[in-house]
Amino acid sequence: MMAVDSHIDFIQPPLCSVPVYLLMTTLLLCTCFPLCAAEKFYKWTDANGNIHYTDKKPENQNSAVVKVKDLPTQPQSHNINQPSDAEGSEKKTTQEKLDEYAKQNKKARNKAHIKKQRCREAKQQLQKYKASISYRKKEPLSGGYIYLTEDKKAKQKARNNRRIKQYQKHIKKSCN
């Protein structure tokens, strides 16, 4: 018969499958968290009307216990003499509005001036075309005048009439 060895080596399993550092961190957080949660905070108003939050109860002041969840994200105490951000931005927007209005007013005055100038020019051109329906043309080489044929007279008259209508339309549109 064969001898059976009664000594069998077993591999020892770890105590825990979770790493030790994770367990330690969890224990540390669990012990510290209730201390912060149990702490009391006090809300009180000073003689100037500023609101304060403290962890110690103020002496000779009426205070209220506040839960941590009720605290605002930004402190509400600020110097009364200095304008708050909302007031400063309101003043800025008012100043910006005034500047914008001044710019628009200046643009409107410039547009009105340009409109008057164009109107004056259009009226002058209209008078020029009404007065200059001539039937002669200056010869560039000799400097003398050539009288136009009936066909050329009709073309010049039609062109001048188109220009007159164009200027009259412009004057009606922008000079009134």
pLDDT at position 64 is 81
99 phi/psi in degrees, rounded to 5: -65, -45
> Does the global pTM surpass 0.85?
no
pLDDT of residue 80: 56
Q: Give the strand pairing for 145-147 and 41-45.
A: unpaired
Distances (CA, A) of 164 to 103, 118, 129: 36, 15, 7
As a whole number of angstroms, the distance between CA 172 and CA 105 comes to 24
Please report, for the chain, how many H helices and E strands are present, in that order.
3, 5
3-state secondary structure 129-156: HHHCCCCEEECCCCCCEEECCHHHHHHH
Quick one: pLDDT at residue 18? 60
What pLDDT shows up at residue 143? 84
Q: Around Cβ 133, how many Cβ atoms within 10 Å?
A: 13
Place of tokens 């009391």: 40
Please tell me the predicted confidence (pLDDT) of residue 101. 84
Q: Is the pLDDT of residue 142 over 60?
A: yes
Dist. CA 119–CA 129, nearest whole Å: 15
- Between 33 and 30, residue with greater pLDDT: 30
Q: Is 73 helix (H, G, I), strand (E, B) or coil?
A: coil
pLDDT-derived band of residue 118, with 50, 70 and 90 as boundaries? confident
Amino acid at the residue 160: N
Name the residue with tokens 């330690």: 24
Neighbours of 170 (CB within 10 A): 17
